[in-house]
Amino acid sequence: MRGKKAPKTYYYQSFTDDFVTSKNQDQKLPSAYSWSHNSWGFRWLSRFLYGLFWLFGVFYCKWGLHVTVKNQKVLKPYRHQGYFVYGNHTQPVGDVFTPLQVMAPKRTYMMAGMANLGIPVLGKLIPIAGALILPDSIHQMGQFNREIESLIQRNQAVTIYPEAHVWPYYTKIRPFPDGAFHYPVQSQAAAFAMTTTYQKRRWGSKPRLTVYVDGPFLPDQTLNKKDQRKKLNQEVHDCMVMRSKESHYETVHYQRG
């Protein structure tokens, strides 16, 4: 799995360790923070900014990250429905732009941690473009969940990185919490897997990225909601573990220590 150049080694204590941090990493959301914006001006600006992000992503994904998307056709039957997409979190910047290419022409909104607000330049823009900053208090969860439900009812896509922490160029799949699958169970909506894998390119030391899209994975309505979440988690995780075996090139080695 190794190329001619020895990979960097990152040491971790747990799967929740952070290897990518940003300014104001531990900032809190204002208590009055809102995820729902109904003004014409905000919606126009949001669509415009999303279009710029998508256009930048076309070039960045192709020439910067060397991304190829496979099996995208599984999304086509759901082009007029809302759905959730689960990805492995291995690109600090690419994970912002790749889903825009995968889901196009459907618009996707992305769940993101508060640390993303501290990213220079992008941090201020991503909530306008559609980043759904995760709440940090119980009293904010109601509004957040209502906004997710509204997006699904409006036939939008929502991207979730259940690993939560970015591990650059990690070639395996970390554990997912069952809670990350609350949303498709609550909405009774389809879930898809979006697995980023890494291969050696003919020229250069940077890897080629192949993104596999799989699904749909549907909530099993014969089970109670807790078991529906657990089953969806297992199905999506197993699929991504299977796809991760397509990674044949390691530029960063992760070792418990």
Domains detected in the chain: 42-256 (3.40.1130.10)
| Contact partners, residue 243, CB within 8 Å, separation at least 6 | 193, 195, 197, 212, 214
Strand partners, 48: none
Peptide bond before 162: cis, by omega within 30 degrees of 0? no
Q: Which two tokens stand for residue 186?
A: 């609550």
What is the overall mean pLDDT for the chain?
92
Q: Considering only CA atoms, give the Rg of the chain.
A: 18
Q: Which tens digits make up the pLDDT trace of 170-206?
A: 999 999 999 999 999 999 999 999 999 999 998 888 8
Q: What is the pLDDT of residues 209-236, one digit of tens each?
A: 999 999 999 999 999 999 999 999 999 9
116 in Cβ contact with 109 (< 8 Å):
no
Per-residue buried b or exposed e for 15-54, using 16+ beta carbons within 10 Å of the residue's own CB: eeeeeeebeeeeeeeeeebebeeeeeeeeeebeeebeebb
Q: Which residue has the higher pLDDT, 166 or 20?
A: 166
pTM: 0.93
Sheet containing 83-87, strands listed edge to edge, beginning at the edge strand earlier in sequence = 67-70, 208-217, 190-199, 83-87, 157-160, 108-112, 131-133
Share of the chain above pLDDT 70, in %: 96
Q: Rounded to the nearest 5°, which phi and psi values hold at 72?
A: -60, -20
> What is the distance between the alpha carbons of residues 118 and 29, in angstroms, rounded to a whole number?
12
pLDDT tens-digit map of 13-30: 999 998 987 666 666 777
Number of DSSP helices (H) and strands (E) in the chain, helices first: 6, 9
